[in-house]
């Protein structure tokens, strides 16, 4: 639910905290959003989403962990996992509080403002966290839920985010608040670090570390 740059930022901050130097971790951090090129109907597939009785989407973490984070944990699959966690935090802290409860027409208007703010925030987030555009190379990870053939498009879009970061960064935000977004990014990083500790502890118990 967050922007591509927000996810890249979270992955970059996590890579610093965890001392990861594998660019596939950063690629994994944006990979769930391949659904944009696969077709909107693929969102629930790439994001391991299920709808609950109230119509809210829930991430099936057990399914993801059981399929991709048992045994050897690759950097790519960890980055992907952290994207899923970050999306849930964005939904809880932004979407459910500010968008979901609005009447349909107002909700569509709010979403439009939200996405326009994504562009305005890109440069601010990049500069605030001193983000660097790393070289991300397409490859074919072992995953049934994504089409890696679209990686070049996703990577090109990320390059565009960096290249155009100053085009609208001085425009007033319509819907989001810069410090609120930074707080969500910070919360996402902390939650992902906690989840990583739980994964490592589980692997140690099973003698896999």
In tens, the pLDDT along 175-196 reads 999 999 999 999 999 999 999 9
What residues form DSSP beta bridges with 59?
49
Alpha carbon distance 8, 83 (integer Å): 9
pLDDT digits (tens, 9 = 90+) for 28-62: 999 999 999 998 789 899 999 988 777 778 899 99
Alpha carbon distance 9, 192 (integer Å): 13
Which pLDDT score is estimated for 205?
Answer: 82
pLDDT digits (tens, 9 = 90+) for 116-167: 999 999 999 999 999 999 999 999 998 999 999 999 999 999 999 999 999 9
pLDDT digits (tens, 9 = 90+) for 74-128: 999 999 999 999 999 999 999 999 998 999 999 999 999 999 999 999 999 999 9
Q: What angle do CA 165, 168, 174 make, to 5 degrees?
A: 125
Q: Which residue has the tokens 């319509």?
A: 174
């Amino acid at each position: 639910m967050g922007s591509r740059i927000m996810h890249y930022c979270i992955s970059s901050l996590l890579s610093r905290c965890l001392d990861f130097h594998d660019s596939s971790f950063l690629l994994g951090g944006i990979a769930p959003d391949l659904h944009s090129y696969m077709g909107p109907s693929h969102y629930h597939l790439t994001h391991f989403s299920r709808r609950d009785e109230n119509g809210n989407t829930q991430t099936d973490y057990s399914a993801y962990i059981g399929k991709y984070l048992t045994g050897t944990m690759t950097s790519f699959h960890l980055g992907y996992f952290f994207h899923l966690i970050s999306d849930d935090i964005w939904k809880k802290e932004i979407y459910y509080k500010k968008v979901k409860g609005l009447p349909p027409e107002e909700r569509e208007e709010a979403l439009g403002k939200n996405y326009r703010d994504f562009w305005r925030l890109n440069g601010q987030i990049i500069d605030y966290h001193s983000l660097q555009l790393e070289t991300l190379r397409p490859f074919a990870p072992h995953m049934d839920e994504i089409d890696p053939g679209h990686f070049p498009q996703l990577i090109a879009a990320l390059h565009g985010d960096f290249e155009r970061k100053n085009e609208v960064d001085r425009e007033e935000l319509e819907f989001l608040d810069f410090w609120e977004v930074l707080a969500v990014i910070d919360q996402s990083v902390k939650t992902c670090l906690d989840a990583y500790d739980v994964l490592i502890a589980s692997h140690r118990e099973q003698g896999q570390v």
